[in-house]
Amino acid sequence: MSETSTGESKGSYAFVSLGCPKNLVDSEKMLGTLALDGYTLVPEPAGADFVIVNTCGFIESARAESRSVIDEMIDLKRSGQTGGLIVAGCLPERVGGSLLEERPEIDHVVGVFGRDEIHRVADRLVGHAREQRELFRPAPITAQQDRGRLRITPRHFAYLKISEGCDRTCTFCAIPKMRGKHVTKPIEEVVREAEELVGDGVRELVLVAQDTTYYGLDLYGEVRLTQLLEQLEQIDGLDWIRLMYLYPVHFNDELIDVIANSSRILPYLDLPLQHINSAVLKRMQRRVDRAATERLLESLRDRLDNLVLRTTFITGFPGETDEQFEELREFVDEGHFQRMGVFTYSFEPDTPAVRLEGHLPEETKESRRDALMATQQRHAFAFGDSVVGYELDVILDCESETPGNWTGRSFADAPEIDGVVEVAGEGLSVGQLVPVEILSRQGYDLAGAALE
């Protein structure tokens, strides 16, 4: 798999992928490119000819994690345990060549849109070339294709990136600076990628983008997520289609109907709302208010059976008052969401929000986050309790440490971010979709027994 035409490997490398599922797709594309070019992937950095770290640069905590991993790899290089270090992705895209000035032990940096040339960067590294240590490319005007990936998710599920970049101007967000403007991947290209993934054993496709409901507007002059989903539904061998990053704008009745009438599109919807107070939403420049949000939620609940909603909120946005936060907390306490994440506002120097008045202390942001999560916990636990005694289909992700037990997910659980279902059963296998009787709730997780 990772050898040249002469049967000799060009070199061994380890790979660290950080950040979101969109970044993971980029990582898998780089892995596939390197494999085709004759490089051998190894599981550990120690002993590898070089290491690649695909970084996240979204908020300060993510950048700190990326720098920490980079420093670990630099320590390995200094001790002679690895020969070189390439840093790729959103962190170099955001900070540019200053990363090499910060950490001169890095051999090469590669921006987000240089990913398809990663093999050439590796060639320069193993060839000991010291020139051209930076590779940055402008954001493409057409979407990059992601076929030929070497996947690092379990074989039975995969992320499918349907677009790149974002045209939103949310005042807290630097993604357009790193990922460029929204670029839709054509329907036929997404379908080809999906067919390739299903042919490789994928049973669950997780659709990701920066703004999923915006899909198609730049390319076709109208949103086309509905038409894309209708095409994906026709792929034989596919069991589940999961939708993530659904911005509330452009979520129309036609899309709801397609979801409602589908046997493969899960009634699990990820809608990152960020807040509910209209004044805060206006300062965030979300282009939606509380009334519109509530109308959408009511429509979804009325028309989708077994609906599970995930959302994310930001606490401590500049100028957020005690009353505005309490409005958000009371809204969450109405029980709209079965799944929820909360972030504290991150001060990002190159975003418009830094110029707003009313920046809050970190302890205020954190206390509000904790209060919001405590409020939501009751509703998450209530949802778990509500399915005890019922049968759910569960896709098995891995075998548990206890023999005869498996860890999987129901339709209500996205990979990595939601809970799991612990399943007792014999003769099962990873990737299998099995009916499970839910016997108990264990915190945010469930436990059950596979049915014959």
First to last CA, the chain: 39
Q: Are residues 66 and 115 in the same domain?
A: yes
For residue 216, which of 202, 203, 204, 228 has the smallest C-alpha distance? Answer: 228
Residue where a domain terminates, one of 101, 135, 169? 135
Whether 327 is covered by a domain: the verdict is yes
Predicted local confidence at residue 221, as pLDDT = 97
Q: Hey, which bits of 94-229 come out as E strands?
A: 108-110, 134-135, 157-161, 163-164, 183-184, 204-208
Q: Are residues 245 and 161 in the same domain?
A: yes
Report the CATH number that the domain containing residue 52 is assigned in CATH. 3.40.50.12160
For residue 435, which of 452, 447, 418 has the smallest C-alpha distance? Answer: 452
Predicted local confidence at residue 452, as pLDDT = 74
Task: Over range 260-283, report the average pLDDT.
Answer: 97
Q: Which helix (H) or strand (E) holds 240?
A: strand 240-243
Predicted local confidence at residue 7, as pLDDT = 61
Residue 436 reports pLDDT greater than 70 = yes
Residue 2 reports pLDDT greater than 50 = no
Instruction: Say which residue, 337 or 177, is predicted with more confidence.
Output: 337
Q: Are residues 220 and 360 in the same domain?
A: yes
Predicted local confidence at residue 3, as pLDDT = 42
Which long-range CB contacts under 8 A does 321-328 form with residues at least 24 apart? 324/275, 324/277, 324/279, 324/280, 325/368, 327/276, 327/277, 328/275, 328/276, 328/277, 328/280, 328/372
Whether 188 is covered by a domain: the verdict is yes
DSSP letter assigned to residue 58: S
Whether 3 is covered by a domain: the verdict is no
Q: Are residues 254 and 374 in the same domain?
A: yes
Predicted local confidence at residue 404, as pLDDT = 87
Share of the chain above pLDDT 70, in %: 98
Q: Are residues 301 and 347 in the same domain?
A: yes
Report the CATH number that the domain containing residue 411 is assigned in CATH. 2.40.50.140
Residue 1 reports pLDDT greater than 80 = no
pLDDT tens figures, 326-351: 999 999 999 999 999 999 999 998 89
Q: Are 70 and 109 in contact (CB under 8 A)?
A: no
Q: Are 111 and 137 in contact (CB under 8 A)?
A: yes
Task: Over range 152-178, report the average pLDDT.
Answer: 95
Domain range spanning residue 403? 391-450
Q: Are residues 358 and 241 in the same domain?
A: yes
Q: How far is CA 72 from the centre of its chain?
A: 24
* Residue 5: pLDDT band with limits 50, 70, 90: very low
pTM of this structure = 0.94
pLDDT tens figures, 288-300: 999 999 999 999 9
Share of the chain above pLDDT 90, in %: 93
Whether 445 is covered by a domain: the verdict is yes
Whether 1 is covered by a domain: the verdict is no
pLDDT tens figures, 214-236: 999 999 999 999 999 999 999 99
- C-alpha 162/C-alpha 66 separation (Å) is 25
Q: Are residues 233 and 362 in the same domain?
A: yes
For residue 271, which of 353, 212, 216, 222 has the smallest C-alpha distance? Answer: 212
Residue 279 reports pLDDT greater than 80 = yes
Which DSSP string corresponds to 110-124?
E-GGGGGGHHHHHHH
Q: Are residues 399 and 375 in the same domain?
A: no
Which DSSP string corresponds to 8-42?
--SEEEEEEE-S-HHHHHHHHHHHHHHHHTTEEE-
